[in-house]
A and B are shown apart, each in its own frame.
Chain A
Amino acid sequence: MAQVILLDATEMEPPEPLVRTLEIIETLEQGDYLRFRNTHEPHLLYDNLHKRHFSYLCCNDSDIFYDVFIWRENDALAYSTIQQLVENKSNSLTLLHSSLDDPDS
């Protein structure tokens, strides 16, 4: 059964959000994804995800939160679940950018 892990970093002081995210993603299995939430964009995280072979998709939620969805590269199941969630109009998510936009990834 695919698992969704939520990490609310809105009350964490740097570098805890980065440390916790990199720890959690190592436990992700096929179909699993991490939904990381913070009040600012985690720019330092992206390159670390790329180096560790994870994909991400960054969304804005209600203009206040940044939600970053993270899954293992080439995990089509996790990606399609996330895509459905982001495209669902009842969620107030606005897609900002994704590692899939990057030709290197």
Chain B
Amino acid sequence: MRNAALSLAQTPPLSVPLLFFLSAPLFAVACGLILLWTGADAFSSRWHPSLLAATHFLTLGYLAMIMIGALQQLTPILMGVQISHPVIFSRIIFILLSTGTLALTSGWLWPFTGVFTLAGSLLAVAIIGFILVLLLTLRRARPGHASVYSARIALFAFSVTTLLGVYLVLGYSWSSLLKLPVLTNIHMTWGLLGWVSLLIMGIAYQVIPMFQITPEYPSYIKRHLTLFMLFVLSGWTLTYIFFHEKEWLVNLMATILAIGLLIFLLTTLQLLSKRRRHVPDITLNFWRLSMGCLLFSIMVWVLSLNLTYKPLNLLPGILMITGFAMSAVTGMLYKIIPFLIWLHWMNYNPGEGKKKARVPNIKKIIPEQHGHNHFRLHSLMLLLFCLAAFWPDYFLRPAALSLIISSLFLWKNIYHALQLYRKGISSDPL
């Protein structure tokens, strides 16, 4: 079919996901700049304002930004349903999410408590609004779809994370709100083990067999693991609130959660070792790194239960956010972006008498070498952040610098792919 036009009636315009994908690395750059500016002090306490701002630049500005952009594009392709009025909807969500993230982080950096009310409101409308619209859209998907099921569970966890986060944020502005320190840990745990982990699991069930040509995940994992994790997470939360003094019980629930993640990561690594195509693949490298970091994170967390050594408190969070989540999400971008650009390029109709350039091989849209170079920078960044947990004086600023460079490199790779498409279709931009 070479250059024959494809019909993409069910998919949103390319500008919808790309706005989110091109903005996300810039938020990661902002995270690097804050850490570079603050230096080792940022790691002196997990409550340090700069660390809170940097973490939320990554979780909201990078991870949520990419996941929200990708979900708008993946639901039509993987689940056969599309959000209505995708362009206007995505623009509204993007503006609310970006300004909400900027307001939240500026509240920590330039202590001005009023801005937290604004941040909480913007983020609540953006995230809860997105979740509600997506859940309504998923109702139209055919029943029995494993990814739809997992996505619903992850979206529920995302809404719990958001509501807790908004309550905590409003606490900065409204002194009358009851301050419950346990809520911060619950917010963090639902964010990392609920929303981020469950969404990555649900998407992995589809994209790993599809793009890595591996056997399917066992059906008992696809059907039950995410729900099991949600139940245990809820159990852990109740135990943490009502039996806080019974440390062994809280740790037991957390250990069951860790076992759930272990089952997922070991199954994923086993499937990846059974790939039917043995060609180098950058996304494969990111997936392996992501699973390795998840394993390492669990091991460090187990160690931290028995040892009182400050770096062991920070390290699991670093490994979960920059290692497990950022690596998996970034790796997926290297599959999603070339695929979308290829699809829209094929679909582009230049009109009567006009020509479009020949659609390139999908592997040439982001040259493999560029992806490999980014992977090296990303791995170096990760190593430096791990070292910074132990020796922040020596390694935090280099780690921040490497995050900036690595994120700019990713931005450049996405932008070049977009430029290639723009040149290919020669006239109209998006």
Contacts and interface: CB of A to CB of B under 8 A. Distances in A.
Contact of A14 (B9, B142, B210, B277): B210
Given A13-B277, A14-B211, A40 B7 contact: no
A1 interface: no
B80 A15 contact: no
Contacts of B209: 39-40
Contacts of A48: 6-7
A50 B6 CA distance: 11
B276 A11 contact: yes
A40 B211 CA distance: 11
Interface in B1-34: 1, 4, 6-11
Interface string A7-41: 00001111100110011001000000000000111
B79 interface: yes
B142 A97 contact: yes
Contacts of B125: none
Contact of B339 (A15, A22, A40, A97): A15
A14 B219 contact: no
B339 A14 contact: yes
Contact of A43 (B1, B76, B213, B343): B76
A44 B78 CA distance: 9
Interface in A30-84: 39-41, 43-44, 47-48, 50-51, 63-64
A100 interface: no
Interface in B262-280: 276-277
Interface string B74-94: 001111100000000000000
A96 interface: yes
The interface size bin for chain A is 20 to 34
Contact of B1 (A19, A39, A51, A64): A19
A47 B80 CA distance: 11
A15 B343 contact: yes
Given A11-B213, A14-B210, A23-B1, A44 B10 contact: yes
B343 A47 contact: no
A42 B4 CA distance: 19
Interface in B38-81: 76-80
B167 interface: no
Contacts of B1: 19, 22-23, 26
A40 B78 CA distance: 8
Nearest to A18: B6
A11, A22, A43, A51, most chain B CB atoms within 10 A: A43
11 contacts: A12-B213, A15-B362, A40-B210, A41-B80, A43-B76, A43-B80, A44-B6, A44-B8, A44-B11, A47-B9, A48-B7
